[in-house]
Chain A
Amino acid sequence: MKNRYSELGWGLLIAGIGLVPTSYIMLRSVPLISLGMAMMVLGAVCLVLGRARPKISPEMSILLMETGLENLNSLLEEMGLKSKGIYLPSRLAGGKPRALIPLHSDLHFPAINKPLERRLIVSCGELPEDMGILVTTAGSNIMGMLEADVGTSSEEMSTALTTILAGILDIAAGADIRINGSKAEVVVYHPRLRKNEAYWAEQSLGSPTASIAASLIAEVMNQPVVIEEEEMQQGEDLIRLRLLHAQDEK
């Protein structure tokens, strides 16, 4: 796949390098010299961005994502699981944020206070029926993409999520996170991945965008998080989450 940014960069750089001395020596035109300088700067910037773009094509990325989702979908469908997934921080999930899908479908979420075993089927509570499957999601590897640690304020988490969704993955224009006690609300602007209700996996774990937001909040707040609702509106997605161990503000 051709790198259009590098091609543009080389074109601008060479044109600028040719224009500057020609304008100075032959034409003695300061506006053309400044235009040549601007072209050189733009050429350098385009070259740099060409080197920084992902090596894997977007089509390949979609292929890998859909393959993973379909496999997880088959697993959940075979097991008949439709319960809501609980997004766990790395402290509880063995090294990186993961999602636990309880094997029972009632609304009781087991209190998870100690790290779970790093297995597919794990015990997650005191009662014998507190079992679930621990899965890696789209959001499990995102923390490694961020350069610095993220603080627990809403603004810092919003900045981190926007960096991930817009700057790194290019699947949305931006995001806002608002935390209020045990409730969290995430607004994703102009999302390019929408929820596919036909997938069992997405009914349990939410859309890939919601999964990434939930993983980030769980990891930063260091608490289990559940996606309660996803609302798709024109131009934005509204995701409502609940922090399982937080206290509601009075």
Chain B
Amino acid sequence: MRIYDSYIITLTGLLLATAVAFAFVAENRLDICFSVFLIEVLIINELFIHLDSRARKGLNAVNYLLFVGFGIIIVDKIIEVIWKISALEIIWDIIRMKALEMLELL
């Protein structure tokens, strides 16, 4: 399906160019990266209006998943504002410590 190929190529180019741009400007905030990726996916989905209904339903499911991730980022920011701690960073640090412990055991 040529329209699927165009969609994948466009989205790939956009997402990877964004990742390169963030690396170029030394952007270290992952929440910004994720938010920009989400916006880009939404824009590309809207531009490709001629996709068939099955493809659109599937892509809507991907949008919902990305929105869930965005929601987690928002909740983390709210917690950070109220309680001055970043829940996501704490969780990531715990995962990192556990992973390093397991690697040391191996």
Chain A interface residues toward B at CB < 8 A = 5, 8, 21, 24-25, 30-31, 33-35, 37-38, 41-42, 44-46, 48-49, 51-54, 145, 147, 159, 162-163, 166-168, 170, 173-174
Contact = CB atoms under 8 A, between A and B. Distances in A.
A27 B84 CA distance: 27
Interface in B1-24: 1-4, 7-8, 11-12, 15-16, 18-19, 22-23
Interface residues of B, number: 40
Given A31-B23, A33-B30, A38-B19, A48 B58 contact: yes
B92 interface: yes
The SS class assigned to the A binding surface is helix
The SS class assigned to the B binding surface is helix
B102 to A, nearest CB: 10
Given A31-B19, A52-B58, A41 B37 contact: yes
Interface of B: 1-4, 7-8, 11-12, 15-16, 18-19, 22-23, 27-28, 30, 33-34, 37, 41, 49-55, 57-59, 61-62, 65-66, 92, 95-96, 99-100
B8 A24 contact: no
A38 B16 contact: yes
23 contacts: A5-B4, A8-B8, A25-B99, A31-B22, A34-B18, A34-B30, A34-B37, A38-B16, A42-B8, A42-B11, A42-B12, A44-B62, A45-B11, A48-B58, A48-B62, A51-B58, A53-B4, A147-B53, A166-B2, A167-B3, A170-B1, A170-B3, A173-B2
A145 B100 CA distance: 53
